[in-house]
Amino acid sequence: MTPPVRPTRRLQVTKQTKGPGRRATWGSISREQVIAAATKVVKAGGYEEMTIRSLAAELKVAPMSLYRHIRDKDDLLDEVVDRLLSRAWQPRANERDWQAWVAEAADKLRRFLVTQPAGLHVYLRHPVVSPAAIARMNAMIDVLRQALLDEQLARRAYGAIHTYTIGFAALESFRSGWQPTDADDEMAKQLAAYTTSHQFAVGLRYLLEGIARDAPLILDEDGGGFISFGPPPGSDPDAA
């Protein structure tokens, strides 16, 4: 007699969902989610402690899952800093007042680098050629070109302003935790005053006034002729 055939049980495969202690399914996170999570950490000031492993744990995925979207931590920081910068650098001053516009653009970058340590880290590590950084550079060069009437001079001026801004921000940031005590002499207190936002504005004004004053001389040396910042040196300003 043939034994009865028992019905086979089908295993029902259910889709795993995220929950307490569970990892997300493979491919369930996007690059935008990775960047958003990293941005949250950066804004909280924890970029130095952030690792691919800690970020993966926050997203409840395996660390290797993140490498489908980013190369490494530095690549991720570049993206985060670019997005934060894009919302922080635009001046409100009128471009026709080129010195006011450039000064505000420079100060906004300084403030960004001082308040966002990850931004300063990125700018000190390598030349930044992200979309927001390039847009900012092109906008500044355009304003300077309209004022100085020379492409090369505008680029030189941008380079001077840009390096001054980053260097000042680095010094200001690294000294931000220092507070004078009764034991510090007056000279130390005076030197500390050289890394304040007020001193940055003073130095930037000197720089911009120097660019405006010396532009005709620089252009003449380069064979570009004089430009409209007043009469050439040695001429009679009252001459018709």
Summarize pLDDT for 28-54 with one digit per residue, the tens: 789 999 999 999 999 988 888 999 999
Residues 180 and 30: their CA atoms lie apart, in Å, by: 48
Q: Hey, is 172 helix, strand or coil?
A: helix
Domain ranges for the chain? 18-70, 85-221
* Phi, psi at 56, each rounded to 5°: -65, -40
Cα of first residue to Cα of last residue in the chain, in angstroms, is 127
- The reply to whether CATH 1.10.10 applies to domain 18-70 is yes
Q: Which residue has the tokens 């500390």?
A: 192
Task: Write down the CATH superfamily of domain 85-221.
Answer: Tetracycline Repressor, domain 2 (1.10.357.10)
The tens digit of pLDDT for each residue in 93-148 reads: 999 999 999 999 999 999 999 999 999 999 999 999 999 999 999 999 999 999 99
Q: For all residues of the chain together, what is the average pLDDT?
A: 81
Digit-coded pLDDT (tens) for 168-210? 999 999 887 767 676 667 777 777 777 889 999 999 999 999 9
Token output for 142: 């355009």
